Structure 1
Amino acid sequence: MEPLWRVAVGDVLRTARHDRGERLADTARRSGVSPQYLSEMERGLKDPSSEMIAAVAGALELTLGDLTRSVTERVSPPAAMLRAV
């Protein structure tokens, strides 16, 4: 079963934040969202607007293209599974 887009976006954002060694509050402050909202985004509980996604991605120095590619990799089945179908 494929994950929801918002869950995959949250996973990518959380991974990027952890890779940078940042606290939730630091990223939230730079992106202009509340720590609570960012936490809910990372856990896939919110369906954020494109503006919110862009703000958080920018705070993490991710381009929207890079974010989209990473999310696509998480929601797409591996090529081997596609060939088996």
Structure 2
Amino acid sequence: MGEVLPLQRKVERPESPEPLWRELVGAELRRERQAREERLTDVAERAGVSTQYLSEVERGLKDPSSEILSAVAGALDLTVRELSTRVASAGTSATGSYGALCLAA
């Protein structure tokens, strides 16, 4: 008979979770607002949303509708297309080698 070898379990280190689309969008909105040296209240007022809601969007806690996203981007003189392009470009460099981004449903 052969020798019995113990089963060795491969210990996998958990990788950092892939960022959600809403987190990347929120970070880009915040980056743009801060670059323009604007307050949350100013942007929220122009976009027609509450300051608290905009804060939650920027922190990646809320997944805004396309209408809200368009309003907030517009308040920052951006189009949704420009915002999406920035997020896609920043996502590959800022988040590592994820390649594809995880889109929130």
TM (norm. structure 2) is 0.70
- Choose which of 48, 73, 76 in structure 2 pairs with 1:32: 48
Structure 1 runs (4+) greater than 6 angstroms displaced: none
Which residue in 2 is equivalent to 1:76? 92
1:63 aligns with 2:79: yes
* Distance 1:16-1:77 versus aligned 2 partners, 3 A rule: closer
More helix by share: 1
How far apart in 2 are the matches of 1:8 and 1:28?
19
* Distance 1:33-1:27 versus aligned 2 partners, 3 A rule: same
Larger radius of gyration, structure 1 or 2? Answer: 2
- Cα deviations across residues 24-54 of structure 1 (Å, max 9, x unaligned)? 0000000000000000000000011000100
- Cα deviations across residues 46-84 of structure 1 (Å, max 9, x unaligned)? 011000100000000011111011111233368xx58xx
* Structure 1 alignment gaps of length 5 or more: none
Is the deviation greater in 34-43 or in 68-77? 68-77
- State the Cα distance separating 1:11 from its structure 2 match: 0.4
* Structure 2 alignment gaps of length 5 or more: 1-16, 99-105
Q: Match of 1:76, SS? A: helix
Which structure ranks higher in relative contact order (CA pairs < 8 Å, sequence separation ≥ 6)? Answer: 1
TM (norm. structure 1) is 0.86
